Amino acid sequence: MAPRKTSNPKATASYYRSNPEARRKKSAYDTAYNKSAKRRKYRAELARERRKRGIMGKGGPDVSHKKGGGFALESASKNRARNGTAKGRKKSIRRNTRK
């Protein structure tokens, strides 16, 4: 089930709500990306692990891939925020604190 629409959307959601052509373009890209064999395999691995743990279809935390292999349970916000530069998050700016 899709999440409810918020009355106070963030910048990206606000942009796509006010630009239907951009939203259609993004939707077409997302559809093609998620149809690829690589993404299907990725989702299947996570679904298999959720079934094994008995949490499939019950909400709760995400099962995510760990860097060294294996799986971990973690909140959706932490899991989906990782590697943010690939998803549009700006890299943090490193500041020189010495004077």
Q: Where are the domains of the chain?
A: 19-87
95 vs 1 pLDDT, higher one = 1
Over residues 35-91, the pLDDT tens digits come to: 999 999 999 999 999 999 999 988 889 999 888 889 999 998 888 887 665 555 555
DSSP state of 65: E
For residue 99, how many other CB atoms are within 10 A of its CB?
A: 3
Residue 4's pLDDT is: 83
Over residues 6-37, the pLDDT tens digits come to: 899 889 999 999 999 999 999 999 999 999 99
Task: Give the span between the Cα atoms of 81 and 88, in whole angstroms.
Answer: 10
